[in-house]
Amino acid sequence: MTRAYKAYKGVGIHREEDIYGEQIYIGNRQGCGTFWFENIKDARKFIDRYKNGGMDVDYNGGVSLIPEEMCKKCRGYYSYGTKEWEKYEDFACEGYKERLKAEAKVG
């Protein structure tokens, strides 16, 4: 079950109650444009840190903070079964996203 909270500075915050671990997210719930958090406070800190520093919400509700060059090194960027898709691993941005979250948490 997904629960929507009041948008914070124009960014929607949601909770996915049917999963274990980090349940709070901003973005569209799937893909590279989603960031997951342990609690709403951490999501708001993240928004505070990056909202005026280049973070936008795209037409799908995803958060645009991942550099395109990094996306091009990820399997998810390419169509299933293509040479590029076979060449790259999934989740190339995972470490980068975790670093952004950690930096926002400390302020």
* Residues 21-47: tens digit of each pLDDT: 889 999 877 777 889 999 999 999 999
User: pTM score, two decimals?
Assistant: 0.82
Residue with tokens 């091009």: 72
pLDDT of 100 strictly over 60: yes
Edge-to-edge strand ranges of the sheet holding 11-16: 2-8, 11-16, 24-26, 35-37
Best CA proximity match to 33, nearest among 56, 10, 7, 53:
56
pLDDT of 59 strictly over 50: no
pLDDT of 87 strictly over 50: yes
pLDDT of 68 strictly over 90: no
For CA atoms 71, 74, 76, 82, give the dihedral sign. positive
